[in-house]
Amino acid sequence: MNEMTRTIGRPAGLGGAVDRGLVPQMLNHVAYVTHDVAATVEFYTRILGMELASTVMDDSIPSTGDPFPYFHLFFRMADGSTIAFFESPGLPEASKSTHPAYDIFDHIALQVQGPDDIRQWHAWLVENGIDVIGPTNHKDFLLSIYFHDPNGLRLELTTPLDKDWNCHTKQAYRDVELWVETKNRAQSEGRDIQKAMQDLIREERKRYTPAGE
Ligand SMILES: [Fe+2]
């Protein structure tokens, strides 16, 4: 074993949840830029069934003081969490991403009640002319469908297939340690980091495949 001691459950130097009674309680909102408030309201209320919860108009940003005028809208989900948008007059289109992977990895996932809901949502979205990918079964972890809102935001509707899907903490810390160690070692030994990570992924993904398959 190398000099870096492996700590089960919490890798040295990588932190771990500290209970100070101050854990964030829920998603309050995520916020994105829109260039079309009308289409955004239509999509989130009529298509996704979320209620328009609140709006704000201002001619500067309260937190920074920047003189950017805006209209801010919040759409509410069943648990009270929201998705928010800003339309700011005269704002140019955002720059394109540097690699198509960004347009897949960057997304927001909203939870629905079960696999049957996923099927109903799929039918409803298709009925409304929306391109939908899925349902995709993520290794019996989550069942999801994917589509885009009018702003190009990639959305996922998902339901857990594994009731403990967000409680695999011990394995998760082990994976973080493995990832960081592998990357650091490849770097310090002057090896190809991308190849080292791909080898790690190939080895680790075997755990999702039952023996004999
Ligand atoms: Fe996702």
- Among 52, 74, 91, the domain boundary falls at 91
Q: Which residue has the higher pLDDT, 170 or 125?
A: 125
Let me know whether 40 and 71 are in one domain: yes
Vertex 99, ends 156 and 194: CA angle to 5°?
100
**The pLDDT value given to residue 208:** 83
Within-domain flag for 62: yes
Q: Give the mean model confidence (pLDDT) for residues 23-52.
A: 97
Q: Which residue has the higher pLDDT, 7 or 110?
A: 110
Nearest alpha-carbon partner for 27 in 111, 90, 100, 97: 111
Within-domain flag for 17: no
User: Could you tell me the distance, in angstroms and rounded to a whole number, from the CA of residue 28 to the centre of ligand 1?
Assistant: 18
User: Could you tell me the distance, in angstroms and rounded to a whole number, from the CA of residue 144 to the centre of ligand 1?
Assistant: 8
> Which domain covers residue 145, as residue numbers?
100-165
Let me know whether 113 and 161 are in one domain: yes
**pLDDT reading at 1 higher than 50:** no
If one counts the domains in the chain, the total is: 3
Other C-beta atoms within 10 Å of 149: how many? 20
Question: CATH code at 81?
Answer: 3.10.180.10
**pLDDT reading at 209 higher than 90:** no
SS3 label, residue 88: coil
Within-domain flag for 195: yes
Q: How confident is the model at residue 13 (pLDDT cuts 50, 70, 90)?
A: low
**pLDDT reading at 7 higher than 70:** no
Let me know whether 84 and 112 are in one domain: no
Within-domain flag for 47: yes
| Contacts for 65 with CB less than 8 Å, ≥ 6 apart | none
User: Could you tell me the distance, in angstroms and rounded to a whole number, from the CA of residue 156 to the centre of ligand 1?
Assistant: 6
Instruction: Say what percent of the chain tops pLDDT 90.
Output: 86
Find out whether 103 and 94 touch, Cβ atoms under 8 Å. Answer: no
Q: Whose structure tokens read 């999801």? A: 144
Let me know whether 35 and 76 are in one domain: yes
Residue 147 φ/ψ, nearest 5 degrees: -165, 180
Let me know whether 58 and 110 are in one domain: no
Let me know whether 159 and 173 are in one domain: no
User: Could you tell me the distance, in angstroms and rounded to a whole number, from the CA of residue 74 to the centre of ligand 1?
Assistant: 21
**The pLDDT value given to residue 210:** 67
| Contacts for 162 with CB less than 8 Å, ≥ 6 apart | 140, 141, 142
Within-domain flag for 19: no
User: Could you tell me the distance, in angstroms and rounded to a whole number, from the CA of residue 109 to the centre of ligand 1?
Assistant: 5
pLDDT in tens, 51-105: 999 999 999 999 999 999 999 999 999 999 999 999 999 999 999 999 999 999 9
User: Could you tell me the distance, in angstroms and rounded to a whole number, from the CA of residue 107 to the centre of ligand 1?
Assistant: 7
Within-domain flag for 3: no
User: Could you tell me the distance, in angstroms and rounded to a whole number, from the CA of residue 25 to the centre of ligand 1?
Assistant: 20
Within-domain flag for 43: yes
| CA pair distance 207, 139, nearest whole angstrom | 10
Find out whether 128 and 110 touch, Cβ atoms under 8 Å. Answer: no
Tokens of 163: 């009731």
Which residues, chain by chain, have CB under 5 Å from ion ligand 1? 109, 156
**pLDDT reading at 139 higher than 80:** yes
| CA pair distance 44, 162, nearest whole angstrom | 28
